Amino acid sequence: MPGTDTAIGSETVTAVDPKLLEILVCPITKRPLSYDRARGELISEAAGLAFPIRAGVPIMLVEEARRLDEEPVIEPSVGDAAPEDLL
């Protein structure tokens, strides 16, 4: 619905089936992802990539992902991978 860009509206757009969230990991590092509900992204801190969710469909393709280093660092996660583990 154009013009109704409310929190609820954006949530329905990006809502991911909970069963998907249970099984998905980062395609490169195979580590858990964090779900950024507001941005509609699945974030792999270790790989430095944010995978988009389009209409509830996670797009787990590296070439479609946003690089996290392209914007201010959010927060380094504890026990994160050594640089050579990053893509």
Q: Which residues bind another protein (CB under 8 A)?
A: 17, 19-20, 22-28, 30, 32, 51, 54-64
Contact residues for 40 (Cβ-Cβ < 8 A; gap 6+) = 10, 13, 14, 52, 53, 54
Q: Name the token pair of 77.
A: 């996660």
Cβ 86 to another protein shortest distance, Å = 15
**Biggest alpha carbon distance in the chain?**
45
Cβ 15 to another protein shortest distance, Å = 11
Instruction: Please identify, using beta-carbon distances, which residue of 30 and 67 lies nearer to another protein.
Output: 30
Cβ 68 to another protein shortest distance, Å = 17
Residue type, 29: T
